[in-house]
Amino acid sequence: MKVLMTGATGEVAGFIRPMLRERYGDVVLSSRSEVEDLQEGESSRPADLTDRAALDAAMEGVDGIIHLGGQSVEDDWQTVLKSNIDGLYTFYEAARGAGVNRVVFASSIHAIGFYPRHRRIGPDDPTRPDTRYGLSKVFGEGLASFYADKFGIRTLSVRIGQCVPEPVDARLQQIWLHPEDFFQLCTIGLEHPDIHNQIVFGASHNTRNFWDNEPAFRLGYRPKHAAEDYESPRSLAEETERDPVADAFQGGMFAAEEFDGDLDRALWSAR
């Protein structure tokens, strides 16, 4: 299987590159610029998400794509629009033109960031984006659904919490995703015969998380890591009250940024 990974110079891509090489052997790395530190089994095909010709070249001969590219944090509307909405549409059109029928889409918990922390939700609950960035991920999940139903491009959308090697604070203990567990989800998206279009949560086996990830488990996801394995008594007891909005919602500081609404009403509406 020849696999393309976009956003290849980003942090998460760096975590899973060795695993990609080991499993698939033929890995195409794409970013806006050339990837310089290529290893055996890797090749570089730079492409901007708004450049259809470059995307066509990047996807030539590819069987599946892990799409990590695009704007990864909150920004002004034009920046988010260019990369995560216009760019994602161009990406899917290029995939359709290239005959690619497997995509793993890096969505985000910020698509549901305005749910309160005490509320346990699953992938079928309505979206509640906490930022323009989160809104663009809602669009991405909808686009994936459209291209699966209309054109047969199977997509697994992974609502990533935070993918880092260790959970370093109390909030990360709730939303943490170990890179090995993320890679396991990627292999499910690229290989599982029953994938059509599915949203799952990108979280390791964290007993304090907010989400019912049953659809991922049904597809065979068995996370190997748990946030509790890294906890100390101090970090378990320490819940820093940085901001009342951040502490109320699953999106944390993304929800708090620019917040000018009615906190009680927002919480009540998502009860």
**Looking at 166-170, 217-221, 251-255, 265-269, which range is the least confident one?**
166-170
Is 133 considered catalytic here? yes
Q: What is the mean pLDDT of residues 126-148?
A: 98
How far is C-alpha 97 from the geometric centre of its chain's CA atoms? Answer: 24
The DSSP line for the chain is -EEEEESTTSHHHHHHHHHHHHHHSEEEEE-SS---S--TTEEE----TT-HHHHHHHHTT-SEEEE--S--S---HHHHIIIIIIHHHHHHHHHHHHT--EEEEEEEGGGSTTSBTT--B-TTSPP---SHHHHHHHHHHHHHHHHHHHH--EEEEEEE-EE-SS--STTHHHHEE-HHHHHHHHHHHHH-TT-SEEEEEE--S-TT-SB--HHHHHTT------GGGG--HHHHH----S-HHHHHBTTTHHHHTT--S-HHHHHHHT-
- State how far the Cα of 83 lies from the Cα of 70, in Å rounded to an integer: 5
**Looking at 20-24, 129-133, 164-168, which range is the least confident one?**
164-168
Compute the half-sphere exposure of residue 177: CA atoms within 13 Å on the CB side of its CA: 26
Using an 8 Å Cβ cutoff, are 98 and 133 in contact?
Answer: no
Q: What is the mean pLDDT of residues 191-205?
A: 97
Using an 8 Å Cβ cutoff, are 70 and 49 in contact?
Answer: yes
Give the pLDDT confidence of 232-241 residue by residue, as tens digits. 544 544 555 5
Q: What is the CATH number of the domain that holds 166?
A: 3.40.50.720
pLDDT at 15 over 80: yes
pLDDT of 181 reads 98
Give the pLDDT confidence of 50-109 residue by residue, as tens digits. 999 999 999 999 999 999 999 999 999 999 999 999 999 999 999 999 999 999 999 999
Provide the sign of the torsion angle of the four alpha carbons 199, 3, 146, 31, taken in this order: positive
Q: What is the mean pLDDT of residues 201-222?
A: 96
Q: What is the mean pLDDT of residues 169-191?
A: 95
pLDDT of 236 reads 46
pLDDT of 239 reads 54
- State how far the Cα of 253 lies from the Cα of 143, in Å rounded to an integer: 27
State pTM to two decimals. 0.95
Catalytic residue among 92, 115, 133, 221: 133
pLDDT of 175 reads 95
How many structural domains does the chain have?
1
pLDDT of 233 reads 42
Domain that holds residue 65: 2-269
Average pLDDT, the chain: 94
